[in-house]
Structure 1
Amino acid sequence: MKGILSALLGLSLILSVVNASAQFVKTKDIEKMKKRTSFIVVKERPDKKIIKLLRQKAPDQVADYKQAIKQLNRDFPEVVKQYWALNGAITVEQKTEKEVARLRTRNNRNYIVFDCQSMKVKPGSRSRRSKYARTYTSSLSWKFDNKDLSVPVINMYFIENDVQYPFYIQNMSDRFPDYTDLAVGLRLATYVFTEQLGGRPERSMQQEIKHNAMYLKDKTLVLCKNWLDDDFVESMAKSDYPYPIRFVSKEELDELFKKDTFDGSAIAYIPAGVFSTFDMNYPSMEVNVPVVFDPVNGMPLCHTDISDEMFQAWGFSLIPQMGKSMVGFKKIRNQDIKNFAKSMKE
């Protein structure tokens, strides 16, 4: 029974981490989205509260935070122009939250808005009506300790709606988003949208994702050295994996995405999600799952196995003050390579 339960829990949350933390897109939203060709990318501004907190607890990170915001504002519009191809020829503008709000008050219905937010879990109260915790998004945070279990996401919403009512949310890694994270996020989202535009229902997509490993055949597996576990052995990985492996630096990986030329490769990535544990003492649980996806179309091809960890996490969450807060693996291990190879045989 444990094996069955752990597999179900693991598969359910893995699919949520890889594809989206929000619901799949509603048909009416897809139809509305197809008619719009004007996009707004929200311009981030350094948060005064974050800067104040950093000056108190991590003053050496203030400059890094400000620089990361500047880089995000340079990268995000360019990534949308390059990687969002579902609406044909599009125009991309960059505006602040206040400028977006002003357009909304004028009853503007021309834009789709992309905004980097942080997904968090709000603790539930002990009242009857709000017993359990819930997930929500808020302004993009800067993680400087392990207590922050929020993860960055791409929030997509129609301009006439509030940012709290997106039609889609796309996961990225747990890092502050850079060019590669944004590109991967939009490509993964593209896969979901493309499949649904083709009439594929959510259930069908979820059932087939675990069988996509067959498309790994003859592809070179690209592994970023910066994301490898400290104990990772390259020679062992090459022995365990049936096809070529290419090890690249983060800078080389960024260049691959900027050129959007992958030459028959599959890329390993570590998306993150945050979920409620239904434990009011420890409401948040961050899940990190190493996956392999096709960088050309965004199709998830396989993932590592964290089902046993998921089973333990949910089990602990039922015991007050014992809930696990971190589940999965933030680095790629040799065992993950074995799991990727095993997926092709299942």
Structure 2
Amino acid sequence: MKGPLAALLCLSLLFSAITVSAQFVKTKDLEKMKKRTRILVVKEKPDKKILKQLARSSTEMANAYKQAIKQLNQDFPEAVRQFWTVNDNATIEVRTEKEIEKIRKKNDRSSIVMDCQSLHVKPGVKSRYSKFTRTYTSALVWEKDSKDLSIPVINMTFIENDLQYPFYIQNMSDRFPDFVDLAVGLRLATFVFNEQLDGKSSTILQKEIKHNAVLMKGKTLVLCKEWLDETFEAKTAKQDYPYPIRYVNQEELEGLIRKDVYDSTVVAYVPAGVFSTFDRNAPSMEVHVPVVFDPVNGMPLCHSDISDQMFQAWGFSLIPRMGKTVVGFKKIRNEDIRNFAKSINEGEEIDITQSIK
């Protein structure tokens, strides 16, 4: 019983972690989105409370935070211009929240607002159980509170709506977002939108993801050295993985993505998701699932297996004060490489079975 249930949980969370933290876009929202001609990227500003707290500890930390916000304001619009292809002819503008509010008051209906926020999940006030939970976003978190887990996300909102009610939320890794995270997030989101615009339902997409790994055949797997577990062994990975592996540092990976020419490669990434538990004492669960995606179009190809951890986590969340808060693996391990290779073989078996039928 454990195997099928755990696998189901893992697949469900994987699809959320790879594509969208909230839900698929409604058909009416897709139609609205296609007609939008302007993308407004919110210009972030350092949070005064965070700055004050950091300054008490270290001027260096406060300066690092301000520099991170400055870099984000440079990277975000660049990534949108390069990787957001759903509205091909849309103009990209950087605006402050006050400027966006003024545009909203003019009854504008031509814009989509993109904003980097932190996604939280907390239980509702009436019950401790997950069906009463609420998901909300707030200003980007710099240092995360272990009791209030959150992950960075890209919020997409129609200009006429309140920023608290996005029509789409795209998650990234659990790091403060850099250019790579923003680019990967936008490409993954673009894949979902394009597939839905082609008429594919969420059910069809979830079925397809089970055997997309066959598309990894013959392609070089790109691994970022900074994302590898400290116990990772390149020699073992070479033995376990049937195709070439290319190791790059984060700067090289960013250069590869900015150039946007991949020469028959696929990229490993570790997106994060945040979900509710049944434990009021630990209401949020942060989930990390190493995945491989196609950098050309954002198609998710396969994922590692964290089903055992998921099964245990959901079991613990039913027991007060035992809820697990972090599930999965933030770094890529040799076991993940073996799981990627296994997915390719399973995808081939599915293709053979379907061809026989």
TM-score (norm 2): 0.94
| 2:8 corresponds to 1:8 | yes
2:82 is the counterpart of 1:82: yes
Are 1:173 and 1:181, in contact at CA under 8 Å, matched by a contact in 2?
Answer: yes
Instruction: Give the distance between the partners of 2:320 and 2:119, measured in 1 at CA.
Output: 24
Give me the whole-angstrom Cα distance separating, in 2, the residues matched to 1:96 and 1:137. Answer: 18
Distance 1:282 1:146 in 2: 10
| Equivalent position SS for 1:170 | strand
Task: Report the equivalent of 1:337.
Answer: 337
Question: By how many angstroms is 1:118 displaced?
Answer: 0.4
Q: What are structure 1's unaligned runs of at least 5 residues?
A: none
Matched residue type, 2:73: N
Partner SS, residue 275 of structure 1: strand
Shift in Å, 1:56: 3.9
Deviates more, 1:211-220 or 1:53-62: 53-62
TM-score (norm 1): 0.97
175-184 or 50-59: bigger deviation: 50-59
User: In 2, Cα distance between the equivalents of 1:129 and 1:331?
Assistant: 31
Specify the code of the residue in structure 1 equivalent to 2:133.
Answer: A
Match in the other structure for 2:91: 91
1:146 to partner: Cα distance: 4.3
Deviations 1:47-88 (A, max 9, x none): 011112223456542111110000000011111111111222
SS at match of 1:211: helix
**Change in 2 beyond 3 A, CA 1:341/1:73:** same
Return the offset for 1:201: 0.5
Structure 1, residues 183-242: CA drift from partner, whole Å, max 9, x if none? 000000011011001000010001110110000001100000000000000111011000
Q: Secondary structure at the match of 1:104?
A: helix
> Aligned partners of 1:267, 1:341: CA distance in 2, in Å?
14
Deviates more, 1:37-46 or 1:51-60: 51-60
1:287 aligns with 2:278: no
**Number of residue pairs matched?**
346
Report the counterpart of residue 354 of structure 2 in structure 1: none
Opposite residue 51 of structure 2, the aligned amino acid is I
Alignment partners' CA distance in 2, 1:266 and 1:195: 19
- Deviation track 1:255-311 (CA, whole Å, cap 9, x = no partner) reads 011111111110000000111102211101100110000000000000000111011
Q: Aligned partners of 2:25, 2:59: CA distance in 1, in Å?
A: 41
Residue 201 of structure 1 is matched in structure 2 by 201
Q: Calculate percent identity across the aligned residue pairs.
A: 67
Instruction: State the one-letter code of the partner of 2:295.
Output: P
Per the TM alignment, residue 25 of structure 1 is displaced from its structure 2 partner at its CA by 0.7
- Paired with 2:52 and 2:217, the residues of 1 have a C-alpha distance of 51
Work out the CA distance in 1 between the residues paired with 2:144 and 2:68.
13
> Is the deviation greater in 214-223 or in 77-86?
77-86
- Equivalent position SS for 1:79: helix
Q: Aligned equivalents of 1:149 and 1:128: distance in 2?
A: 17
CA distance in 2, matches of 1:264, 1:270: 20
Q: Which residue of the partner structure matches residue 318 of structure 1?
A: 318
- Does 2:110 align with 1:106? no
* Contact 2:130 2:276 survives alignment (8 Å): no
Q: What is the alpha-carbon distance in structure 2 between the residues aligned to residue 251 and residue 236 of structure 1? A: 25
Segments of structure 2 that go 5 or more residues without pairing to the other structure are 347-357
Of residues 294-303 and 81-90 in structure 1, the stretch that sits farther from structure 2 once superposed is 81-90
Q: What is the CA–CA distance in structure 1 between the aligned matches of 2:148 and 2:126, rounded to whole Å?
A: 23
Q: 1:128 to 1:19 in 2, by over 3 A?
A: closer
SS of the counterpart of 1:120? strand
3-state SS of the aligned residue for 2:302? strand
Give the 3-state SS of the residue equivalent to 2:53 in structure 1.
helix
* Distance of 1:87 and 1:130 partners within structure 2: 36
Runs of 4 or more, structure 1, over 6 Å off, are: 128-131
Which residue does the alignment assign to 1:175?
A: 175
Contact 1:184–1:298 (CA under 8 A) maintained in structure 2 = yes
Shift of 1:333: 0.2
What's the secondary structure of 2:162's corresponding residue? coil
Q: Secondary structure at the match of 2:345?
A: coil
- Is 1:308 paired with 2:308? yes
In structure 2, the partner of 1:42 is 42
Letter of the 2:139 counterpart = S
Q: How far, CA to CA, are the matches of 1:250 and 1:63 in structure 2?
A: 22
